[in-house]
Amino acid sequence: MNLDAILRRHEPTVLEQITKDPLRFLASRAYGLSANTIETKTPPNEVPVRIVCISDTHSQHAKLGTLPDGDVLIHAGDLTHSGTPEELRDALQWLASQPHPHKLFIAGNHDRALDDSEPTRQALLDAFPSLTYLQQAAATLSIRGRTLRIYGSPLTPQHGS
């Protein structure tokens, strides 16, 4: 299959989706129904927990301006553009300076300085004790008597053939 065929392919019809993979079709439809009916209202006597999630800043964090207030700040990958230790240190310094009480981050495919094989990795992580790095791990946070468990993984599914 050439690139032109990939870029110009049509969206499969419902019948094509059912025929190709009936179980996946049903599962995605069932998930969509349940995801749309989750009750998220905070009881009237409780202050809501505010979670701010950003990603793909690609070393442009200085241009973001002020982030919304929140109890938890999550950076969900691609803090850096090139993935150098210097870029990562700068991004983590910025992340650590944010006022959110809980700050978590996950590596993206650009954040090579966080690869297990990178010799500067542990020193970078140790330099920012106020940050929690999630690498196929969960963090348990206690916020105003509530417990939040947040899982993060830098693994990216492979796309294409």
Q: What is the pLDDT of residues 123-133, one digit of tens each?
A: 888 899 999 99
DSSP string, 122-156: HHHHHT-TTEEE-SSEEEEEEETTEEEEEEE----
Least Cα distance to 128 among 76, 78, 93, 91 occurs for 93
Q: What is the pLDDT of residues 92-134, one digit of tens each?
A: 999 999 999 999 999 888 888 888 777 888 888 889 999 999 9
Domains of the chain by start residue, with CATH: 3-35 (no CATH), 51-152 (3.60.21.10)
Within 10 A of 88 (CB to CB), how many other CB atoms are there? 25
User: Which pLDDT belongs to residue 52?
Assistant: 92
Least Cα distance to 152 among 74, 49, 56 occurs for 74
Is the Cβ–Cβ distance between 89 and 59 less than 8 Å?
A: no
Full pLDDT tens readout for the chain, 161 residues: 566 666 677 778 888 888 988 888 887 777 655 544 455 666 777 788 999 999 999 998 888 888 899 999 999 988 899 888 899 999 999 999 999 999 999 988 888 888 877 788 888 888 999 999 999 899 999 999 889 999 998 887 666 65
Burial class (CB in 10 A: 0-12, 13-18, 19+), 76: middle
